[in-house]
Amino acid sequence: MFALVFLSACAHVETRLPVPNQAALRKESNTQEHQAFIRYAQQLSRLDKISTKLLQANAPICEKTFQDMGVRTHTLKSYPKHLRDAAKRQLGAKKHPTILSVRDNAQLSKMDSLLDQRANPTSVRNKALQETLKTEQAEIQIRRGDKTLSVPVTSNLACDYKVSLRMSGAVNAYATGKSIIITTAMMDFAKTDEELALVVGHELAHNTMGHILKIIQNTILSGFATRTTRPFEAEADYVGLYYMARAGYNMDGVETFWRRLGVKNPKSIVRAKSHPVTPARLLSIRMTAQEINAKRTSGQALLPNALKPTQQNP
Ligand SMILES: [Zn+2]
């Protein structure tokens, strides 16, 4: 460290370097920021599309559900700090929630601002609004230009887990018990929508199966968190594939996601303390797909096989 400081203090370059002018520098910064933002916004909308499909298709077997109005709002804080200027320029993101996207509702538009705080995603689970949505069409207050309007909204039942995108160069995804987080590098790595559904399904299973709580309990009891998580990872792969199939995604060949990940991280082919090794994951997913296809052919419900028979799953 000291050697580096010493070197940098007296080091100097020996060639005449080009010095870009300020205006050109600013222009190129804007171009790069703009492209980075467009890429982020596209990933956000792809993740929303796929996770909505999974959360709605699996609502009948999710314990925690909510009425999803399909209204996505955003504020400047919804974006990573360095993309907020671009978010303001490109999508008109503000300090207060405005509509980013709407599904199945022709009466709302991106230019509308939400006045009804019950429709804000942070309070969308507001009890009164949720109760109304269950039985009838609810109305939310919006501002359009200088007018205040009441707009009817419909909803669909969905599993109640928030799905977010995190800007990171690490190919990763995780579940917290209440939410699912997918990194931007994972969005790039999951080439097809089927692969992304596999990843989101896996994290959804961690949440629905209560793995996070079980891991904490195991940690307290055994003190070996890494080894105790392995069966839960295998279970999340198994249950997650059912979630994906129930949402109508094609499972053919989706297991090769794990081959590509093994090739990218060769260590995970032979050694994985907290997770099953990637060859085992590929083969287990292939076997699960065969199990699901057999159920489909014989007209059985697509439900994971439980260890203990239950009323729902004999
Ligand atoms: Zn996992």
Highest mean pLDDT among 26-35, 117-126, 212-221: 26-35
Q: Cα–chain-centroid distance for residue 283?
A: 25
- Mark the residues whose beta carbon lies below 5 A from ion ligand 1: 233, 236
Q: Which of 158, 178, 200 is the last residue of a domain?
A: 158
CA of 279 to the centre of ligand 1 (A): 16
Does any domain span residue 197? yes
Residues 259 and 169 in one domain: yes
- In angstroms, what is the span from residue 100 Cα to ligand 1's centroid? 30
293 — phi, psi (to 5°)? -60, -35
What pLDDT does 204 receive? 97
Q: What is the pLDDT of residues 167-190, one digit of tens each?
A: 999 999 999 999 999 999 999 999
128, 173: one domain: no
Specify whether 230 is located in the same domain as 171: yes
Co-location of 190 and 104 in the same domain: no
pTM for the predicted model, two decimal places? 0.85
Whether residue 169 lies inside any domain: the answer is yes
**CA 280 to centroid of ligand 1, rounded, Å:** 14
200 alpha carbon – ligand 1 mean position (Å): 10
**302 falls within a domain:** no
Give domain status of residue 252, yes or no: yes
Q: How does pLDDT run across 38-88, given as a tens digit for each residue?
A: 999 999 999 999 999 999 999 999 999 998 888 888 889 999 999 999 999
Token pair 């538009």: residue: 109
Dist. CA 203 → ligand 1 center (Å): 6
How many whole angstroms from 135 Cα to the centroid of ligand 1?
36
Pair type for strands 71-74 and 156-159: unpaired
Give 41 Cα–ligand 1 centroid separation in angstroms: 25
Tell me, what's the pLDDT at 126?
Answer: 63
Q: Give the residue from 118, 140, 158 where a domain finishes.
A: 158
Domain match, 147 and 176 both: no
> What's the 206 CA to ligand 1 centre distance in angstroms?
7
174 with 281, same domain: the answer is yes
Å from CA of 197 to ligand 1 middle: 14
Q: How far is the CA of 236 from the centre of ligand 1 (A)?
A: 6
Our count of domains for the chain comes to: 2
Could you tell me if 286 and 190 lie in one domain? yes
Please check whether residue 9 lies inside any domain of the structure. no
Which residue range forms the structural domain that includes residue 210? 162-297
Cα–Cα dist 173/190, whole Å: 11
> Cβ distance 91 to 45 under 8 Å?
no
CB 140 within 8 A of CB 151: yes
Tokens encoding 51: 């996770």
Q: Which of 158, 191, 211 is the last residue of a domain?
A: 158
- Residue of 164, 167, 141 lying closest to 152 (CA atoms): 141
Query: Length of the chain in residues, anyone?
Result: 314
Cα–Cα nearest to 228, from 242, 217, 244, 238: 217
Residue 35 placed within a domain: no
Cβ atoms within 10 Å, residue 195: 23
The CATH code of the domain that includes 137 is 2.30.42.10
The tens digit of pLDDT for each residue in 82-138 reads 999 999 988 888 887 788 887 767 677 777 777 665 555 445 556 666 777 776 677
Q: Are 178 and 193 part of one and the same domain?
A: yes
CA distance 141 to 172: 38
Q: How far is the CA of 296 from the centre of ligand 1 (A)?
A: 26
CA of 240 to the centre of ligand 1 (A): 10
Average pLDDT in the chain:
86
Kindly write down the DSSP assignment for every residue of 29-53, as one continuous string.
Answer: HHHHHHHHHHHHHHHHHHHHHHHHH
Residue 259, C-beta contacts closer than 8 angstroms, at least 6 positions apart:
278, 282
Question: Would you call 72 helix, strand, or coil by DSSP?
Answer: strand
Terminal alpha carbon distance of the chain: 65
The CA 179 to ligand 1 mean position distance, Å, reads 13
In a domain, 285, yes or no: yes
Q: Structure tokens of 121? A: 């995603």
DSSP conformational letter for 145: T
Residues 166 and 290 in one domain: yes
CB-CB neighbours of 86 under 10 Å: 21
| Residue 223 forms part of a structural domain | yes
238 plus 147 within the same structural domain: no
Are residues 145 and 222 part of one domain?
no
Query: How many angstroms separate the alpha carbon of residue 72 from the centre of ligand 1?
Result: 27
Task: Clarify whether residues 138 and 248 are in a common domain.
Answer: no
